[in-house]
Structure 1
Amino acid sequence: MNKKIRYGILILLVAAIAIYNYTYQEHRDISSEKATYTISIPTLKKEFATNDSLAFAKYQNQTIELTAKITTIDTENKAVILDNKVFATFNDSLPKDIVSGKKIKIKGRFLGYDELLEEFKIDQSSIIR
């Protein structure tokens, strides 16, 4: 009986440590990661139109890189819209040299596709120079 209690306490301790480490793990630094996918917006649209669940499983939470033209700038929310199809948010304030109509290359974490707005969502974006 005494051994069972010791093993039970040991198992609970190991489980508690594992849960703590999983919960409080360090955040990813997307800007320093290598992009998993370098893709164009038309290709991304085509993949989601063909099979959205397969495309979502492929790109969700992955670091992607794309080049597109800035169509809208939202400085208040630190975000830009690219080619009227990609809503990209930045962690820090937007660089001052960002202007509408300019073509930029960004890298960020793919969050998903908003069917209502027909936009792809990317966060933790950074500009690649």
Structure 2
Amino acid sequence: MNKKLGYGILILLLIAFAIYRYTYQEHRDISSEKTSFAITIPALEKEFTANDSLAFAKYQDQTIELTAKITAIDFENKAVILENKVFATFNDSLPKDLISGKKTTIKGRFLGYDELLEEFKMDQSSIIR
């Protein structure tokens, strides 16, 4: 009886430890991660037009790199809009030399497509220089 109780407690402790490790795991550092996909905005649009569920499954939560022209900058909210199609937010403040209309490469985590605003969403973005 004592052996069974001991094994039961050991198993419960292992399960509790696994749950703790899963719950309190470290956050991803997208800026240091390897890029999963380097893609253009027209190619991204084409994939979502062809089959949005397949494209969403392919890109969701992946680190992507986009090279495009900046169409709007919001320094206060740390966000940029690329070619009026991609809304990217940054964790860190934006560089002061960032210029609207300039072609820039941005790396970030792909969140998805907002059908209401008709734009793609990225977060944890960083500028690749």
2: CA distance, partners of 1:65 / 1:100: 19
Q: What's the counterpart of residue 17 of structure 2?
A: 17
Q: What's the counterpart of residue 32 of structure 1?
A: 32
Counterparts of 1:1-129 in structure 2 under 5 Å? Answer: 1-129=1-129
Unaligned 5+ segments in structure 1 are none
* Aligned structure 1 segments of 4 or more residues deviating by more than 4 angstroms: none
* Percent of aligned pairs with the same amino acid: 81
The count of residues paired between Structure 1 and Structure 2 equals 129
- TM-score under structure 2 length normalisation: 0.96
Query: What are the Cα deviations for residues 3-55 of structure 1, in whole angstroms up to 9, with x where unaligned?
Result: 22212111110011111111111111111111010000001011111111111
Unaligned 5+ segments in structure 2 are none
Alignment RMSD (CA, Å) = 0.8
Task: Report the residue type matching 2:37 in the other structure.
Answer: Y
- TM-score under structure 1 length normalisation: 0.96
Task: Report the residue type matching 2:13 in the other structure.
Answer: L
